[in-house]
Amino acid sequence: MSAYPELEKRLDYVFRDVELLRLALTHPSVAHEQGMPVQHNQRLEFLGDAVLQVVLTRALYEKFPAFGEGPLTKARAKLVNRRSLAEKGRSLGLGQHLILSRGEESHGGRERPSALADTYEAVLGAIFLDGGFMAAEHFIVNHFRDAFGELSEIPTLENPKGELQELLQAHSSEAPHYHVISASGPDHDRLFECTVHHAGVELARGSGKSKKAAESEAALAALAALRKQNLAESQP
């Protein structure tokens, strides 16, 4: 009989080697308290983090074929952060199963977000070692299905003008040019419309409450159009 039947039920995974799960639940504070070499979950956390990155990167790569490394990295960061991993660890009840030092226990270590996030990744690493990549992928897909489903579009880029310039200058030394073509409304509520051009061709238009905002919207529209065009040209 497993020592963790309730936890394995919540994980939707039964370990063949339950010692891997025990190791995943062992907090580093145990080693510090005993003052001697004691195995803990940091190595499994390192492994689980890598597996999580691979699975979600592949999913984003397939879901958003028109986007490059920068936007995909931002989308992955939106899915995976310490807060979201801590919430997943808390939802699984990992805190109640943590093996902690007395000091860590007395300072609320079972509910510490960093401990829950690290343990979640360690448990994932343990599943990977125990059941292989497909078992780990199944675990990740189940846990991130809702969050991934809500990610219907790539998060807004922090610097669309810079992204556009980088994309264009991969093939040309000429930088894009922006032109304000209209400004309307009262002084306290102006609306600017802007175009962006490259090599004498208008790429897109955008509007905003300031010239900077209008240029950013134009750059975003141009990025979307160019990536759609590049994707179409790459299809057989």
pLDDT in 10s for each residue of the chain, 236 residues:
567 899 999 999 999 999 999 999 999 888 776 666 778 999 999 999 999 999 999 988 888 776 777 778 878 887 888 888 999 999 999 999 999 888 887 888 788 898 899 999 999 999 999 999 999 999 998 888 877 766 665 555 567 888 888 888 878 888 899 999 999 888 888 889 999 999 889 999 988 888 988 898 898 888 878 877 765 565 55
Domain stop point among 129, 150, 171: 150
187 given a catalytic annotation:
no
Cα R_g (the chain), whole angstroms: 24
Whether residues 134 and 184 fall in one domain: no
Identify which of 38, 7, 1, 36 has the alpha carbon closest to the alpha carbon of residue 126. 7
166 given a catalytic annotation:
no
Give the C-alpha separation, 113 to 84, whole Å. 9
Whether residues 133 and 66 fall in one domain: yes
Whether residues 145 and 52 fall in one domain: yes
Q: Which of 45, 104, 121, 217 is flagged as catalytic? A: 121
Question: In 10 A of CB 21, how many CB atoms?
Answer: 25
Q: SS3 breakdown of the chain: % helix, strand, coil, rounded to 5? A: 65, 10, 25
Cβ neighbourhood burial of 89 (10 Å; 0-12, 13-18, 19+): buried
Domain stop point among 91, 120, 150: 150
Q: Which of 45, 49, 118, 137 is flagged as catalytic? A: 49
